[in-house]
Amino acid sequence: MRRVDLRKSKALFEDLAQTIKEAKVGEVLVILFEIGDFSAVEKSFSFVKENGCELLNSLKFNQVDWTIVIKKESV
pLDDT for position 54:
97
Provide the 8-state DSSP code for 24.
P
State mean pLDDT over 53-66: 94
State mean pLDDT over 51-70: 94
d(CA 42, CA 21) in angstroms, rounded, equals 21
* Cβ count within 10 A of residue 31: 23
pLDDT digits (tens, 9 = 90+) for 2-56: 999 999 999 999 999 999 999 999 999 999 999 887 888 989 999 999 999 999 9
The answer to whether the predicted template modeling score (pTM) of the entire model surpasses 0.85 is yes
pLDDT of 61 > 90? The answer is no
